[in-house]
A and B are shown apart, each in its own frame.
Chain A
Amino acid sequence: MSEPIEVARHESSVLRISVRTAAIMLAFTLVFTAMMAGTYKATEPLVAASALAEKLRLIGEVLPPAMYDNELMADAITLPPQPGLGLDEESRLWRARKNGVPVALVLEAAARDGYSGRISMILAIDAQSRLLAVRVTAHKETPGLGDYIDPRKDRNKARPWITQFSNLGFDSVPRDKWRVKKDGGRFDQMSGATISARAVTNASGRALAWTQEHRDKLFALPANGRYEENKQ
């Protein structure tokens, strides 16, 4: 007679321990999730401000602020994925104007054929379809070898490799010469790390061609609009 009661007692104590352990786990999870959420909320404005400052700094590197007088961040367009820019996700494009006249486009582009995958860049292209400047924003090229595409890592501080594209368009460098010298083009590469240079060179050429084709339509769109390929 006493056995079933013992078992029941044992079972209820197992249940009690399980519930207690689960409750403690839950309490820890709640406390530490709350801690993370609280920190996230508290730091969010500061983090967003520094991300914006970083973006403005990068844009400032490709497009000198003196060249335009509009509120660049407010004159943006959302682009659907553009294979011509190497992007398979949405991106942003900013339109610079001076006295209402289109001056330049700032856009993002990517090369898929870096030595270690994707190389992301930001470019400014002016109204005459000349590449004002290009900067690499993210890459995974080999440190000390292919990373000279980022001017901060380039050992030539006086004239970093990436600056050789500045102020060039297809009027001065024909489309079929917009390649590294190793491929019969006009642009230098570092020996031993041609793949990184080729990827950046070809991607900037593609972005330039894409912009030349879509420029007028892009400038005609209302601010904060969305660019659709099939619409005129």
Chain B
Amino acid sequence: MSAYKEIAWNGLWKQNSILAQVLGLCPLLAVSSNLVNAVSLGLATIVVMMLSNFAISALRALIPYEIRIPVFILIIAALVTVVDLAFNAFLHDLYLVLGIFIPLIVTNCIVLARVEAFAAKNGLRAATLDGLMMGVGFVWVIALLGAVRELIGQGTLFSGIEMIFPTLSGIQVLPESYPGFLVAILPPGAFFVLGLLIAGRNWLDARANQRLREHRLHDQHPPASSVPA
């Protein structure tokens, strides 16, 4: 696997920020009560993670090891502030929807974690790609979480999308008479669904490992190296 492919695979699955590293739960649980909010936060997170990984990778030669954490936090907080102000000034309609989520990103420790674990040790292109892929890994999980909670809790999908695209509207998936299941929308529901998602990932990984072991034990020919471990 090439280095870039490995970065992508790590972000999307193997080191997935939510399912494997279980980082960034504060914004995750707060915002994933419906699909549109979840994806909105996820997209804002991608922007911030790419920017911060890029900036730290570019400046890494200048940052003394002893004070790297305060400098990282300073840079991330400054970038989030700049993104927040720029959104408010130049993309105001989008800001009305995403605005409340941008300050939340500072509370997402996955940003600091990737800067410390990856961007500070790698080149510009690899670091930016890592930010993008970790962000995409965050988005697909939070989107799934939001979709499941919205569907179970309200029986809809994409409710609230008219605030981003006025011509579209949410889809009533379950019948109108569906009474809703409040627990799914409230914070405990986030923990339940997240727990199930992590269990599902562990099950898939365990099954893949099991197969790999069986191959090794019973086959004369070792399996192709492309089998994900």
Residues of A within 8 A of B (CB): 20-21, 24-25, 28-29, 32-33, 35-36, 39-40, 42-43, 46-47, 50, 54, 142-145, 152-153, 192
Contact = CB atoms under 8 A, between A and B. Distances in A.
Contact of B67 (A24, A36, A40, A47): A24
B33 A46 contact: no
Given A40-B85, A43-B89, A152-B163, A144 B153 contact: yes
B175 interface: no
Given A20-B64, A36-B82, A47-B88, 5 more contacts: A28-B74, A54-B96, A143-B34, A145-B185, A153-B160
Contact of B88 (A33, A50, A143): A50
Report which residue of A32, A35, A152 has the largest number of chain B beta carbons within 10 angstroms of its beta carbon: A32
Nearest to A46: B89
Given A32-B75, A36-B78, A144-B34, A46 B90 contact: yes
Contacts of A40: 85
B75 A142 contact: no
A144 B185 contact: yes
Nearest 5 pairs between A and B by C-beta?
A: A43-B89, A46-B89, A32-B78, A50-B92, A43-B85
B185 A143 contact: yes
22 contacts: A21-B64, A24-B62, A24-B67, A25-B67, A25-B71, A28-B63, A28-B74, A29-B74, A35-B78, A39-B82, A39-B85, A39-B86, A46-B89, A46-B90, A47-B88, A47-B89, A142-B182, A142-B185, A142-B186, A144-B34, A145-B180, A152-B163
Range for the number of chain B residues in contact with chain A: 20 to 34
Interface of B: 33-34, 62-64, 66-67, 70-71, 74-75, 78, 81-82, 85-86, 88-90, 92, 96, 150, 153-154, 159-160, 163, 180, 182, 185-186
A40 B182 CA distance: 41
A32 B92 CA distance: 24
B85 A47 contact: yes
A153 B159 CA distance: 9
B86 A21 contact: no
B161 to A, nearest CB: 12
B75 A28 contact: yes
A39 B90 CA distance: 12
A46 B153 CA distance: 39
A32 B89 contact: no
A153 to B, nearest CB: 7
B180 A144 contact: yes
Contacts of B154: 144
Nearest to A145: B182
Contacts of B34: 143-144
